[in-house]
Amino acid sequence: MSESCNSCSAAGTCTTDSCSSEPKVTEAQKASHVGKVIAVMSGKGGVGKSSVTSMLAVSLMRQGYKVGVLDADITGPSIPKIFGVTGRAGVGEAGILPSKSRDGVKLMSLNLMIETEDDPVILRGPLITQIVNQFWTEVIWGELDYLLIDLPPGTGDVPITVFQSLPIDGVVMVTSPQALANMVVRKAIKMVRKYEPHIYGLIENMAYVQCPDCTKRIEIFGKPKGDEEAKRNSIPYLGELAIDPLLAELSDAGKIEDYQSPAFDQIAKRLAEQIKINSDKDLA
Ligand code: ADP
């Protein structure tokens, strides 16, 4: 590796001799054709980003699309658990083979490559970004309509690497009503704008709890502000999701593919519209 490569986000995974040459296409990439690459991002942890990524994957799959999820939250990977996938990822001649969920979503996560799922991942930033790059360059994703990337929260090394090195078409922002989460989501939106993928919109998760005995909404984190926050940042508002104990229960049991949510179906519909609007703009 040359001296000048040290500061590059692809350091260690790049297969070119000099930065002026085109990156070499790997065997795994030759064996893959990925339609849209969508990153799911949040400013803050715990707002439900991985849950939204998983629900989105399930929703797209139910619509007949071929879907993959790249778990880029290397130190806090939760995607395999949410889908109930425990086996190790395979290795083929051309690269790493993603695992498949019960209903056929392709998954790649560091937790599918380590011995025991609760072993901690003790790695420094450059190694973490190298792994994320390899999940793109060395995984045989095959034919996919959508690859969803579950980013770690915030605006650190991994989101920077992903926006610099992967062909991201657009981003879905997830937030919750806490003021702090909204303040940090603004930082995330500003960061995405530097790299210029489309921002498809904002989802406000955990907006309220529906009283089980009446029609009242209980806004336990204060009044939802997703709509206002989206307007303030000039991005589309995709909708809100309630705190639903069934979602938490099914996620913990690895049965996200059994979860049905009319509210999320509406969000997925609005997202599909935004993807189409932005694709048409790109083609114009
Ligand atoms: P993040 O990826 O932002 O850190 P997760 O998706 O892992 O957040 O969610 C954190 C926890 O909250 C998980 O236990 C998840 O099951 C739960 N959760 C997320 N969204 C909801 C919701 N709308 N209703 C109930 N529980 C939720």
Does the beta carbon of 50 sit less than 6 angstroms from any atom of ligand 1? yes
CATH no. for 33-283: 3.40.50.300
The pLDDT assigned to 2 comes to 44
C-alpha to C-alpha distance for 39 and 160, rounded to whole angstroms: 12
The pLDDT assigned to 101 comes to 97
- Which residues lie across from 149 on neighbouring strands? 39, 70
pLDDT at 191 over 90: yes
User: How sure is the predictor about 96, in pLDDT bands with cuts at 50, 70 and 90?
Assistant: very high
Closest Cα to atom 10, ligand 1: which residue? 46
Range of weakest confidence among 127-131, 234-238, 249-253: 127-131
Looking at the CA of residue 52, tell me the nearest atom of ligand 1. 6
- The ranges assigned to domains in the chain are 33-283
Question: Which helix (H) or strand (E) is 218 found in, with range?
Answer: strand 217-218
Name residue, tokens 């969000």: 267
**pLDDT digits 0-9 by tens, 70-88:** 999 988 889 999 999 987 8
Closest Cα to atom 12, ligand 1: which residue? 48
**Average pLDDT for 239-248:** 96
**Residue 85: partners with Cβ closer than 8 Å, 6 or more residues away:** 99, 100, 101, 107, 112, 254
| Positive or negative torsion for Cα 53, 44, 42, 8 | negative
Does the beta carbon of 42 sit less than 6 angstroms from any atom of ligand 1? yes
- Measure the CA angle with vertex 21, ends 15 and 24; round to 5°: 35
Looking at the CA of residue 78, tell me the nearest atom of ligand 1. 7
Ligand 1 midpoint to CA 45 (Å): 9
pLDDT at 1 over 60: no
Looking at the CA of residue 251, tell me the nearest atom of ligand 1. 16
Ligand 1 midpoint to CA 13 (Å): 32
**pLDDT digits 0-9 by tens, 199-222:** 999 999 999 999 989 989 999 888
